[in-house]
Structure 1
Amino acid sequence: MSKNFADLCYACRVGDTDNVDRLISTGVNLNAVDQFDNSPLFLASLCGHETVVKLLLSRGAVCDRDRYEGARCIYGALTDSIRDILLRYDISKAVDVNQPFTMHISSLIKDDFFLDTCDLSWSFHDNIRAIECLQLHKFILASRCAQLNLGLMSNWTGRHNFELPKGCSMKEMKILVKFIYLLPVLHEIDYEQYSSLIALSREWGMELLAEFLNKAQHILDPSEKSMFMATFQYKFMELAREQLCTFVNDAILKSSIILNSHEELDQGQNIILKECLAFPDVLLMVKNLKDEQRVFPCHLAILSRAHYFKLMFTLPFLERTLYKSQKKSKDSGNSSPLPLISLPSCDFEVAVIIIRYLYYDSSEIPWYNAIDVLLMADMLMEDRLKSMAAVVLTQSKELLKCCSIFDILSVAWETRMERLEHFVAKVIAQKIRKYSNDPALKEAILQSSKRISARQETDTIELVDDIRFYLLEKYAFELEDIEVLSSEQDLGLLKSSGILEYQQDMSVIENILDALSLQA
């Protein structure tokens, strides 16, 4: 059992939704089982975490009531609400793997917004005219299909429009295109199409699709076929992530250009990037703290996963005007420079993490980059990446050796990450007497009090409330225990219960509030 899968099982048991989402993005098999034959879905159902159950189902977890594992989930569900969700869930939905990465790639040929980002068209003709035209992206075809990549780099160089041979089946070609763009298409294939699709997928080098088709044509039972589709849909998604990872490494990162501090990208360098293996339509520039600049050949279709970039190219900003101009020039057969957009200053490693996340949903964030990634994700308005970075910070054993807990609190407030605020409060509660001598704790409590928009004479202070909560957790007390134990007269029982230590820790907070003339 891999560490990521073990961590996923634990996150499902405790109901850590953000961590479940992050771990799903590492590519773990949601329908695998641990050493006790428990699937993540079973653990989440058994422990009563409805939000996690919904997330797992939406990401492709299978609950087939006709099979042992599905029946276990339903009958083991802690609440009627979870049981109803599982009973309503149709196994066919698991064929449509709703990973955010998968959904975005699929949207590139479903969403009208991305029509402007297409740079290749395939036309189907009858004897007189074109009867249908597919608008596609060279970089998707190049990354997903080795044979198409060879064509784009050789015979098709510089071309943007193709007429497919008249003998070519439009329906079967559209199925292959849907497969390339990760649309759920397996259930659309008719029995009589299997043979020709197997031959075509092998001709294009799509061996995994050929393997599925070769086996699926012999499965007659609908339930068994649905399970088989779900298994292969997961494999298809992981293959696509691997292919886009290779594409990022070989076509984007290796093609990037590093410039000196005040050097500008000249026309020759722009052309080199424009004609590189990535088939880019936009350039992303990043300046690091050493004042060096790195330019990455990228794609608006992918950068638009971040709301910041989507707004940039939707609203009438200069970048949108330049992009439209370049697109119009390309369509007319002329050549114009690629538009250049910039990220705020950061280490190149942080920019690469952002690119990897946008292209193939990579959640690999080293702890020493996590704060910078969190800040950058906040600027890009990419909440999911923010959550992933926050999870990494809360799980790092090295973080507090080189970073003040109060600096982390400032970042949490700046980025509005409640998970990180709770992490800080828990760390402070665990070592409250150590932090009581640090002036930064008083300043943090004061700052927290100022964050209340309309303060009453007596009000709660969020940081103080959180510390008090984690002090209760530290000593395993419930609120109703405190009054009972505090009235106890037996000194031995007071010491053994931990109530005296709890009261001493609480007095630290009270003393700070008194010193700051705050009531909370």
Structure 2
Amino acid sequence: MSAQRSLFLHCKEGNLSEVKHIVEVKDIDLNVRDGWDSTPLYYACLCGHREIVEYLLQNGSKCEASTFDGERCLYGALTNDIRNLLRNWKQIHSTGKKRDRHYELLRHMLEEEKLCKDILFNVHGVEINAHRCVIAARSHFFSEALSTHWKNRSTVALKHEKVTSDAFHAILQFLYLGRVDIKREIVDDVKRLAHYCNLQHLSEEILSADTRMSELFRLKPNMSCRVKIVTVESETSFARLATDLRYLAESTLPSRLRSWIEVLPFPEYDKRPSFYPDVCVEVEGEIFNCHKVFLCGRSDYFKALLTDHFQENKSSTSASCPIIKLCHLTPEIFKNIIIYIYSEICDFHSLNDVMDVLPVADMMLLTGLKRKCGNVLSQHMTENNIVDMYRCSQMFNLLNLEDYCVEFMAIELESLVESEEFIELVVEEANLVQCREETDSIPLIDEIRHHITDATSTYGQMQQSCAKLMKLDAMLARLGLEC
């Protein structure tokens, strides 16, 4: 059964664990539609599965007011509890932006008090911890302050009467996440502090959100007393966050690998100091100056290394940072790993890059990077490499790539049935079925048959599908694998 069909089925039946597995492992589009123009969210609402409704909304399912999908979900919801959830969600989460594991890491870094944080701000008695590397990479103001009058200080007291703890925390939220939720009563305080910290883009975003809200209140005066929070977020802010984190990743690299920095059109970046590394990774004699919070937050492999579970972890006698020595990979491969860990960006210039990174991502337990590798591979399938692609998808548990491979096989079946590699693959798949009898099916063949018949809607397509199925059956008969 395809990933899409499985998602629809489990949303109808209320299997939350299976829905999570499909979303997190197969990286499927949650706003996909079936033959009745319905989404997974609609079926979850219709069948009364509140937990699945909430999970789908949290991960990017669209349900906006005055749209077909939004009103249909609201009308079809089985319970008032689900209707209230949809209404409240539409008011608060207008963009429906998917929150992935990278975003969750940044949120966890912001909210967890002792997560490798190395500087403490005391704002009128309220203590707020932060990471030097993040705030320095995100703000020229903080970078300058940390290298001058805050240099070598682990605690900074902010005593100015117009700097409030709530406003300062809002600034940090924007620096970490690229978005911020501001209480209406402190909007002016945050504007003032953003201006003081030279965060011009944040000031502009707040002004834009404030203007939209004023227009809303003008048209619907009764909304004024209901709206308590101003949400500031935009694609521009998220793009800037990705750019800054990419630069932070580049700062960890050996100098010969920093080609991206040299072409940056931003002169202020050249003035920034190193970003306070606290762990070094050695690869073939080259040193990467990294940050534990990113390595451990993204990879259980590095978390184990840094908690001294393996012999590769050793302390340096000549430097303050511990050193991890990695073998069986090149600095160029590890550069791609680091850039992904910090910024969620992949720098693949060829299929060879993808194939080099994939086994390392698997070893380092970077599931998201494996999925991205699979997505790139799915765009380069041909009749000559489809069998290798399929085997690769199984070796590294890339379920989405496997689904693409089977779909490609269904499309190109008429030529593949004459391919020795494809025939060998079918025989291997048959042998994997333990104690197979003549009536037992072969999973790969079942999936190919499903893809052949699933897209059939016209008489001409039906004839083509029948021709393909006859050729498939003929091949199986020659192999003695009738099923």
Deviation at 1:471, TM superposition (A): 3.8
- Alignment partner, residue 299 of structure 2: 307
The C-alpha deviation readout for 1:475-504, integer Å capped at 9, x for no partner, is x389xx9xxxxxxxxxxx9x9934773354
The C-alpha deviation readout for 1:131-160, integer Å capped at 9, x for no partner, is 443221111011111111122234444433
- Alignment partner, residue 4 of structure 2: none
- CA distance in structure 2 between the aligned counterparts of 1:165 and 1:45, rounded to whole angstroms: 62
The alpha-carbon distance between structure 1 residues 146 and 506, as it changes in their structure 2 partners (threshold 3 A), is same
2:37 to 47, 51, 58: 47
The alpha-carbon distance between structure 1 residues 78 and 509, as it changes in their structure 2 partners (threshold 3 A), is farther
- Alignment partner, residue 262 of structure 1: none
- CA distance in structure 1 between the aligned counterparts of 2:35 and 2:159, rounded to whole angstroms: 52
Deviation at 1:299, TM superposition (A): 1.4
- Alignment partner, residue 391 of structure 1: 375
- Does structure 1 retain, via aligned residues, the 8 Å contact 2:453–2:465? no
Deviation at 1:230, TM superposition (A): 4.8
> How many aligned residue pairs are there?
424
The C-alpha deviation readout for 1:361-384, integer Å capped at 9, x for no partner, is 225655613344443332222323
Q: Does 1:80 align with 2:80?
A: no
- Alignment partner, residue 252 of structure 1: 252
Mapping of residues 197-216 of structure 1, within 5 Å: 197-214=190-207, 216=209
What SS does structure 2 have at the residue aligned with 1:283? strand
Deviation at 1:508, TM superposition (A): 3.8
- CA distance in structure 2 between the aligned counterparts of 1:17 and 1:151, rounded to whole angstroms: 42
- CA distance in structure 2 between the aligned counterparts of 1:74 and 1:46, rounded to whole angstroms: 16
- Does structure 2 retain, via aligned residues, the 8 Å contact 1:60–1:230? no
Mapping of residues 313-332 of structure 1, within 5 Å: 316-318=308-310
| Deviating more after overlay: 234-243 vs 86-95 | 86-95
- Alignment partner, residue 244 of structure 2: 243
Q: Does 1:153 align with 2:147?
A: yes
Deviation at 1:54, TM superposition (A): 7.4
Q: Does 1:138 align with 2:132?
A: yes
The alpha-carbon distance between structure 1 residues 423 and 409, as it changes in their structure 2 partners (threshold 3 A), is same
Deviation at 1:411, TM superposition (A): 0.9
- Alignment partner, residue 173 of structure 1: 168
- Does structure 1 retain, via aligned residues, the 8 Å contact 2:173–2:179? yes
- Give the structure with higher Rg (CA): 1
Q: Does 1:362 align with 2:361?
A: no
Normalised to the residue count of structure 2, the TM-score between the two structures is: 0.71
The C-alpha deviation readout for 1:170-198, integer Å capped at 9, x for no partner, is 333233223322286433352xx444432
The C-alpha deviation readout for 1:67-102, integer Å capped at 9, x for no partner, is xxx333334569936995745634213489534332
Deviation at 1:104, TM superposition (A): 1.4
2:428 to 447, 455, 479: 447
Mapping of residues 26-425 of structure 1, within 5 Å: 47-50=37-40, 57-58=57-58, 63-65=63-65, 70-75=66-71, 80=76, 86-87=86-87, 89-94=89-94, 98-111=99-112, 115-124=114-123, 131-165=125-159, 167=161, 168-182=163-177, 185-190=180-185, 193-214=186-207, 216=209, 219-220=213-214, 221=217, 229-230=230-231, 232-249=233-250, 251-253=251-253, 255=255, 277-286=274-283, 294-309=286-301, 311-312=303-304, 316-318=308-310, 336-342=320-326, 344-345=328-329, 348=332, 350-362=333-345, 365-366=348-349, 368=351, 369-396=353-380, 399-400=381-382, 404-425=385-406
Deviation at 1:462, TM superposition (A): 1.7
Q: Which amino acid aligns with 1:73?
A: D
Q: Which amino acid aligns with 2:397?
A: R
- CA distance in structure 2 between the aligned counterparts of 1:450 and 1:42, rounded to whole angstroms: 35
The C-alpha deviation readout for 1:111-136, integer Å capped at 9, x for no partner, is 36xx25222222346xxxxx443221
Unaligned 5+ residue runs, structure 2?
A: 1-21, 43-52, 259-271
- Does structure 2 retain, via aligned residues, the 8 Å contact 1:48–1:79? no
- CA distance in structure 2 between the aligned counterparts of 1:229 and 1:60, rounded to whole angstroms: 20
Deviation at 1:50, TM superposition (A): 1.5
- CA distance in structure 2 between the aligned counterparts of 1:405 and 1:427, rounded to whole angstroms: 8
What SS does structure 2 have at the residue aligned with 1:304? helix
Q: Which amino acid aligns with 1:461?
A: I
Q: Which amino acid aligns with 1:468?
A: R
What SS does structure 1 have at the residue aligned with 2:252? helix
- Alignment partner, residue 34 of structure 1: none
- CA distance in structure 2 between the aligned counterparts of 1:400 and 1:284, rounded to whole angstroms: 38
Instruction: Give me the CA root mean square deviation.
Output: 4.5
- CA distance in structure 2 between the aligned counterparts of 1:496 and 1:382, rounded to whole angstroms: 42
- CA distance in structure 2 between the aligned counterparts of 1:247 and 1:469, rounded to whole angstroms: 46
Percent identity, please: 17
Q: Does 1:511 align with 2:477?
A: yes
Q: Which amino acid aligns with 2:154?
A: H
- Does structure 1 retain, via aligned residues, the 8 Å contact 2:301–2:364? yes
Q: Which amino acid aligns with 2:134?
A: I
- CA distance in structure 1 between the aligned counterparts of 2:389 and 2:41, rounded to whole angstroms: 27
Q: Does 1:435 align with 2:435?
A: no
Q: Which amino acid aligns with 1:122?
A: F
- CA distance in structure 2 between the aligned counterparts of 1:302 and 1:360, rounded to whole angstroms: 10
